[in-house]
Amino acid sequence: MSGEIADPALLELQRHATMGRLLASVAHEMSAPLGAMLSNRDVELRLLDRIEQAAAGSEPAKVMELAAACRELARIDQLAGERISRLVRSVKIAARAADPVSRRVQLNEIVDSALDLAKTEFRSRIAVETDLESLPEVECQPHLLSQAILNLLTNAGQAIEGTGRITVGTRLEGDSVHIWVADTGRGIPPEDRQKVLKQAFTTKPLGVGTGLGLLIVRQIVTEAHGGSVSFESESGRGTTFHIRIPVRQKSKGDVPSA
């Protein structure tokens, strides 16, 4: 059993706000593959008519040619369907109801699904690179870690004006896993660095920022998982946030061994 968060209602509110914002871009992102599948279907039906005609007219070469065109469209449908189902799976992971029970999970899958959602907002503006090392299963509250990673990705995206790059990595370091999110954005000015993790603080206009994102990251990582959050930043060059959490949570009744 891992630690508890002082104000779970605030976390829940922030999660709903994030999901609300993301769903608009996720829906937009799904509309292209869905549109492709629907229009392919019309073409496929017409091709089938022509295949029937060619078969009735005993034109085997024509039948083969039309069947090959049908197969090519089915291949495109497959890719489009996979794209949609991947997004649906990522939404499910991030939107999963709060559940204060720790589970052993593949952390890289949580990172991947958070990235899938965040990328729908980045579009072609931001290039995303991943450097995910194979990890043992990590004992954590997956919906909370997903929220923390999404908060870091949102900040990274909002810090980049115009085009830029976000890199996300994971490493096993002794008994802990290290997740980092690096951006090539504007950086955090020295005078703000003391504030960002400690208090509700925002430099963003109403409707863009609430100042709660990093506060919640810190609560999720330190209070709920006994981990740590840190960052380094260079004005005008970018920022890297680091989350470290133990691979196994200390159980409540744990007595330090002699």
Residues within the interface to ligand ADP (CB under 6 A): 151, 155-156, 159, 183, 185-188, 192, 196, 201-204, 209-215, 239
C-alpha distance across the termini of the chain, in Å: 22
Least separation in angstroms between residue 24's CB and ligand ADP is: 18
Least separation in angstroms between residue 177's CB and Mg ion is: 22
Instruction: Name the residue type at position 128.
Output: V
Least separation in angstroms between residue 200's CB and ligand ADP is: 7
- Interface with Mg ion includes 164 (CB under 5 A)? no
Beta-bridge mates of residue 173: 176
Q: Helix, strand or coil for residue 157?
A: helix
Other Cβ atoms closer than 10 A to 208: 11
Compare residues 8 and 81 and give the one whose CB is closer to ligand ADP: 8
Cα dihedral angle (117, 120, 124, 127), rounded to 10 degrees?
-10
Number of residues that bind Mg ion (CB under 5 A): 2
Compare residues 10 and 201 and give the one whose CB is closer to ligand ADP: 201
Residue in the shown chain whose Cβ atom is closest to ligand ADP = 213
Given 142, 213, 227, 246, the residue binding Mg ion (CB under 5 A): 213
Compare residues 91 and 215 and give the one whose CB is closer to Mg ion: 215
Binding site partner of 111, from Mg ion, ligand ADP, none, Cβ cut-off 5-8 A by kind: none
Q: Helix, strand or coil for residue 146?
A: helix
Least separation in angstroms between residue 196's CB and Mg ion is: 9
- Interface with Mg ion includes 155 (CB under 5 A)? yes
The beta strands (E) that lie in the chain are given as: 103-105, 126-132, 138-140, 164-173, 176-183, 228-234, 238-246
- Interface with Mg ion includes 18 (CB under 5 A)? no
Compare residues 81 and 211 and give the one whose CB is closer to ligand ADP: 211
Question: Are the beta carbons of 126 and 143 closer than 8 angstroms?
Answer: no
Least separation in angstroms between residue 17's CB and ligand ADP is: 10
**Cα separations (Å) of 53 from 42, 59, 63, 67?**
17, 9, 9, 12
Binding site partner of 156, from ligand ADP, Mg ion, none, Cβ cut-off 5-8 A by kind: ligand ADP
Beta-bridge mates of residue 172: 177
Question: Helix axis angle, 60-95 relative to 142-159, nearest 10°?
Answer: 100
Least separation in angstroms between residue 167's CB and ligand ADP is: 12
For residues 109 to 148, the per-residue mask of contacts with Mg ion, x marking binding by CB under 5 A and - elsewhere, is ----------------------------------------
Query: Alpha-carbon distance 170 to 152, whole Å?
Result: 14
- Contact positions toward Mg ion, by CB under 5 A? 155, 213
